[in-house]
Amino acid sequence: MSLQLCDISLSIAQKTIVQQLNITFNRGEFWGVMGVNGAGKTTLLRSLIGLYDIDDGMIHLDGKNIKDYKRLELAQLSGMMHQEYEYNFPSTVLEATLIGRHPFIENWQWESAEDTQQAYDALETVGLLDLSDRMVNTLSGGEKRRLNLATLLTQNPDYYLLDEPVNHLDLKAQLEMLSLLKTHFKQANHCGIMVIHDPNLAYRYCDHILLLLNNGHYLSGQTKDILNKENLSELYDCPVHQINDAQHTLFVPLASV
């Protein structure tokens, strides 16, 4: 079972994002999607579940063209954590987390005890259980980011689309979230596809990488084969130094002054 992109081409406002992209995202894998600002990472992520139309090619989800899915079916299989998410209605943290169960609830029905328990479990996982009765508008930016993840964990899709999930998080919280996600994808046999800017975090947590280069070109494969100083220097048009020791690999940009 996989999310398969077959010769897809994608553009936005006459800017080519990818041309003839062939790639398969398998369950159990954690992918990092990297590119410069404006490269189209978010647009590509949205296109994977039909939220943005591709120009050419086909996308298959578990062997079926995504165009043949109903929106509710796609919402049960895939979930997206947006780069920014505004809570426009007053709600408690628990109520916001339960939004993740909406694709599985029939019209005019309330959340079941099992739905509520899933939400509590997710809040405990991200460290927000003690804040379940708090109003969302009283949370910090980092707490709201963890709430976004709790909502997605409550939805529990097979495919997680994550648009810069560590936004607004301090360093420790970034490591905790990415470690949590990596473990979850392996244990639950789910797939994670994450837009991320930090090559060091991508190298540490992602097992596969997709680099969006200029003019629709791309590189993809296992992280250890794709993330290196040559490819990153080309990607960012900036010299990148690579430091290796017995346990770690570190990428450092060498900005000219």
Q: What pLDDT score does 29 carry?
A: 97
Q: Is the pLDDT of residue 141 over 70?
A: yes
Q: What pLDDT score does 254 carry?
A: 87
How many structural domains does the chain have? 1
pTM over 0.75: yes
Q: Is the pLDDT of residue 48 over 60?
A: yes
Kindly state whether residue 43 falls inside one of the protein's structural domains. yes
Higher-confidence position of 108 and 34: 34
Q: Is the pLDDT of residue 149 over 60?
A: yes
CATH number at residue 197: 3.40.50.300
Kindly state whether residue 233 falls inside one of the protein's structural domains. no
Average pLDDT of the chain to the nearest whole number: 93
Q: What pLDDT score does 89 carry?
A: 82
* pLDDT band of 106, cuts 50, 70, 90: confident
Do 173 and 142 touch, CB atoms closer than 8 A?
Answer: yes
For the chain, the straight-line distance linking the first and the last C-alpha, in angstroms and rounded, comes to 49
Q: What pLDDT score does 222 carry?
A: 97
Q: What pLDDT score does 257 carry?
A: 44
Q: How far apart are CA 81 and CA 100, in angstroms?
A: 11
Token pair in block for residue 16: 């080519």
Kindly state whether residue 190 falls inside one of the protein's structural domains. yes
Q: Is the pLDDT of residue 85 over 90?
A: no
Burial-class residue 210 by CB neighbours within 10 Å (0-12, 13-18, 19+). buried
Looking at the chain, the whole-number percentage of residues with pLDDT higher than 70 is 99
Q: What pLDDT score does 256 carry?
A: 55
Domain assignment of residue 174, given as a range: 2-224
Kindly state whether residue 173 falls inside one of the protein's structural domains. yes
Do 184 and 150 touch, CB atoms closer than 8 A?
Answer: no
At 168-186, the pLDDT tens digits run 899 999 999 999 999 999 9
Kindly state whether residue 206 falls inside one of the protein's structural domains. yes
Q: Is the pLDDT of residue 163 over 60?
A: yes
Name the residue with tokens 């709600």.
Answer: 91
Looking at the chain, the whole-number percentage of residues with pLDDT higher than 90 is 86
